[in-house]
Amino acid sequence: MVKVAIMGHGTVGSGVYEVFAMNAEKIARVAEQPVEVKYVLDLRDFSHLPYADKFVSDFSIIENDPEVTVVAEVMGGTGAAYEFTKRCLNAGKSVCTSNKELVATHGEELLAIAKEKNVNYLFEASVGGGIPVIRPMMQCLAANEIREIRGILNGTTNYILSEMIHKGVSFEDALKQAQANGYAEKDPTADIEGHDACRKICILSDLAFGDKFDPNAVSCEGISKITLTDVEEAGKLGYVIKLIGRAVRCEDGTAYAYVAPHLIPKNHPLAAVEDVFNAIMIDGNATGDVMFYGKGAGKLATASAVVADMLDAIAHAEKRRPVEWGDGSKNLLRPIDTLESVWYSRKPGKPAVITGPMTTERAMRDCKDAAALMRVL
Amino acid sequence: MVKVAIMGHGTVGSGVYEVFAMNAEKIARVAEQPVEVKYVLDLRDFSHLPYADKFVSDFSIIENDPEVTVVAEVMGGTGAAYEFTKRCLNAGKSVCTSNKELVATHGEELLAIAKEKNVNYLFEASVGGGIPVIRPMMQCLAANEIREIRGILNGTTNYILSEMIHKGVSFEDALKQAQANGYAEKDPTADIEGHDACRKICILSDLAFGDKFDPNAVSCEGISKITLTDVEEAGKLGYVIKLIGRAVRCEDGTAYAYVAPHLIPKNHPLAAVEDVFNAIMIDGNATGDVMFYGKGAGKLATASAVVADMLDAIAHAEKRRPVEWGDGSKNLLRPIDTLESVWYSRKPGKPAVITGPMTTERAMRDCKDAAALMRVL
């Protein structure tokens, strides 16, 4: 019998409990023993739930219980989640999380503690929700140098763009629909300005290239300036507009990483990714392009990825999974203006593709207005 | 330093050597030590190669060398490959393979020996070549019951169908093109009659459902009877024809598994998979559908998946990966005629979709000719 704890009982946290309940038999088969959720940490009142007796409001109960060996951190943010994760790891407990903000911001420190304490810090659910991405990239592509990563990493913006492309809905109205459908938060900034996608491309870059990519240093442009006219003009030329998180490795080991709307040819596999779906395409120097596709969010999908990590942590209780990256001192991030692309100039009245590839500076000679330029994938 | 051997120096085997050479640094980083190919087993003369000194023609040299702890079996077939794999496992060496025929035919026996000897028998490359499928399904979806698997599992047939659909090439001419391009063998039976896809859906079913699905018992229909007229008529109704390997789990743990051409709605993600690309869609009861996409074959892609397994075997030298399935005595396979579907009747002159779902018998009441029926996905 393994005992685990869940920190946070929001959407993902309650989903983690639900997955343990609904798939108990399968989980016991994989873990080769039953797995029991001993505690759920949350300050709110859940006394109406059938598992109300699991709830604790004092973190130190989990921290000080040696029976609990694996903890799910599904609180979100970089406040208490950061502190509690550190204390769990220091107490010799593995931590599994969907918290992309925490991994992108403090991953290297938390992984260093995990290494020192010989426990696991795993975060498959932090990128792509329930879509397998991190483990396939790190394990199945282990014999590859990763050359490039291109992903539709945010379901909210992809839903908004899909509505604009296929139904002619304006950005503002599509955003309102997304909020009404529960796909977007009341404050949608993190999604529509690309910050969420930025954290995810940083995590993938950290893993692929071995040193920290700071979300604050990575160029990040969202979709709030994309108009229906842009979408229509791009369509006429055979493209769709998608928000892409992208990382490109250079020969010397440095890399580009950024988030920006791109024009994508309609026959490209990423162009067919609609609505709230995500897809991540990874180019290995031996495999070529492989793509992972599915719903990038959702309660049970994300929760099941957290639970899969917990099962992996149980399997690797003695010999931890070797995951780590540097503190950013290698300065691998290249200035984005030097990344050559084919460009699209969306100047009113005469939109056109500027064949290249060329740098931003060179593209600016053709199109004087930086805000009117968009990269073509 | 870890020492490994490669059995077979055909397309994949020479690719395995090439991946070790081209990505030596990355491989050493992942293995946390250098990895050296000590032997390559092949009976043919490769004395012109710069690594000619690695070649041996006597298997017992590998078998009896305690330095060699991990072996790639990339010989193919179920003859010498079967015997040598058993002897390697019995000698305490992990074996990694792309040999789908051997895994589908004798997997349960080889996994049982691997378990007894506490070594690994891994075969990520046997399904989807370089596309990560098995590891994501077994690990990332570990907290899910797998409800359904649908895959374009054979690149040759997908290439032929793509040529028929998009260029109006006849089946016979598309097959000749595939042979000219090296996508099809001189004897293309295993591809076009679906046997290759059948082995792959059997392996995925073995893993997902826990007991052996015998390729000889699984219903298998290829694409040799698909005509240009079929493709055109389906197109008019909004469908494309694809060869699909499919497995469906029932509530009681039994399952359907089969290979057959299907009509697929044009907006379905699998419909967009063209040419030699493969894609496998897996439906977990918590994640919903996730899809894995890429080139399903190719020397370096397949080879890099074998090497990734070898790295995993090195990492799990002490605590093996728990992979196994039963000997087939649970008789999980359901008779295919009882699987309800929407059907397509391709009777000359009046092709039509028969709305359902209904069993084969019920569909036969509408369309008297069994050969004229095709399932709709």
Whether residue B294 and residue A288 make contact (CB cut-off 8 A), yes or no, is yes
Whether residue A286 and residue B19 make contact (CB cut-off 8 A), yes or no, is yes
- Phi and psi for A211 in degrees, rounded to 5? -140, 155
Q: Which of residues 221-280 of A touch B (CB under 8 A)?
A: 269, 272
Closest-CA distance of chain B to residue A360, Å: 31
What are the residues facing A94 on neighbouring strands?
A70
Residue A102 has pLDDT above 90, yes or no: yes
A308 interfacial to chain B (CB closer than 8 Å): yes
Question: Nearest Cβ partner of A318 from B139, B288, B319?
Answer: B319
What does the pLDDT read at residue B351? 86
- Phi and psi for A179 in degrees, rounded to 5? -65, -40
What does the pLDDT read at residue A50? 97
Q: Are strands B255-265 and B239-249 parallel, antiparallel or unpaired?
A: antiparallel
What does the pLDDT read at residue B368? 81
SS3 content of chain A, % helix, strand, coil (to 5): 40, 25, 35
B200 tagged catalytic: yes
Contact residues, chain A, for B145 at CB < 8 Å: 23, 26
The single-letter code of the amino acid at A114 is: A
What are the residues facing A5 on neighbouring strands?
A39, A71
Helix (H) or strand (E) holding A100: helix A100-117
pLDDT in tens, chain B (377 residues): 999 999 999 999 999 999 999 999 999 999 999 999 999 999 999 999 999 999 999 999 999 999 999 999 999 999 999 999 999 999 999 999 999 999 999 999 999 999 999 999 999 999 999 999 999 999 999 999 999 999 999 999 999 999 999 999 999 999 999 999 888 889 999 999 999 999 999 999 999 999 999 999 999 999 999 999 999 999 999 999 999 999 999 999 999 999 999 999 998 999 999 999 999 999 999 999 999 999 988 899 999 999 999 999 999 999 899 999 999 999 999 999 999 999 999 887 788 898 889 999 999 887 888 888 999 99
d(CA A180, CA A175): 9
What does the pLDDT read at residue B350? 83
Question: Nearest Cβ partner of A294 from B22, B132, B290?
Answer: B290
d(CA B296, CA B315): 26
Closest A-chain CA to B317: A319
Closest B-chain CA to A298: B287
A298 interfacial to chain B (CB closer than 8 Å): yes
Burial (CB < 10 A; 0-12, 13-18, 19+), residue B205, is: buried
What does the pLDDT read at residue B180? 94
Spatial CA neighbour of A230 closest among A362, A374, A363:
A374
Annotate A311-361 with DSSP letters as a single string: HHHHHTSSS------B-STT--BPPGGG--EEEEE--TT--EEEEEEE-HH
Q: Are strands A277-284 and A288-295 parallel, antiparallel or unpaired?
A: antiparallel
What does the pLDDT read at residue B134? 97
State the residue for tokens 């995590």: A203
- H helices of chain B, in order, are 11-22, 24-31, 59-63, 80-90, 100-116, 134-135, 155-167, 171-180, 189-192, 195-209, 228-236, 299-315, 360-366
Split at pLDDT 50, 70, 90, the class of A182 is confident
| Total CB pairs under 8 A between chain A and B | 178
The answer to whether the bond into A357 is cis (omega within 30° of 0) is yes
Q: Strand B35-41's sheet: what is its strand order? A: B55-56, B35-41, B2-7, B68-73, B94-97, B121-122
What does the pLDDT read at residue B140? 95
Residues A243, A249, A254, A257: what is their CA dihedral angle, to the nearest 10 degrees? Answer: 10
d(CA A354, CA A367): 9
Residue A132 has pLDDT above 90, yes or no: yes
B356 interfacial to chain A (CB closer than 8 Å): no
The tens digit of pLDDT for each residue in A340-358 reads 999 999 887 788 898 889 9
Contact residues, chain B, for A135 at CB < 8 Å: 135-136, 139-140
Which among B200, B212, B242, B299 is annotated as catalytic? B200
d(CA B46, CA B42): 9
DSSP one-letter code for B86:
H
The tens digit of pLDDT for each residue in A9-58 reads 999 999 999 999 999 999 999 999 999 999 999 999 999 999 999 999 99
State the residue for tokens 């967009």: B272
Residue A214 has pLDDT above 90, yes or no: yes
Whether residue B286 and residue A132 make contact (CB cut-off 8 A), yes or no, is no
Closest-CA distance of chain A to residue B375, Å: 24
What does the pLDDT read at residue B365? 87
pTM of the complete model: 0.95
d(CA A300, CA A172): 29
B351 interfacial to chain A (CB closer than 8 Å): no
Contact residues, chain A, for B295 at CB < 8 Å: 287-289
Written as six digits, the tokens of A47 are: 């006394």
Cα A242 to the center of its chain, rounded Å: 16
Which among A54, A93, A100, A200 is annotated as catalytic? A200
What does the pLDDT read at residue B356? 83
Contact residues, chain A, for B140 at CB < 8 Å: 124, 132, 135-136, 305, 308
Contact residues, chain A, for B280 at CB < 8 Å: none
The tens digit of pLDDT for each residue in A292-340 reads 999 988 899 999 999 999 999 999 999 899 999 999 999 999 999 999 9
Written as six digits, the tokens of A103 are: 């991994």
More confident: A348 or A374: A374
Question: ipTM for the complex?
Answer: 0.94
Please give the sequence-ordered ranges of beta strands (E in DSSP) within chain A, or none if there are none. 2-7, 35-41, 55-56, 68-73, 94-97, 121-122, 146-152, 219-220, 239-249, 255-265, 277-284, 288-295, 341-345, 352-358, 373-376
d(CA B305, CA B130): 5
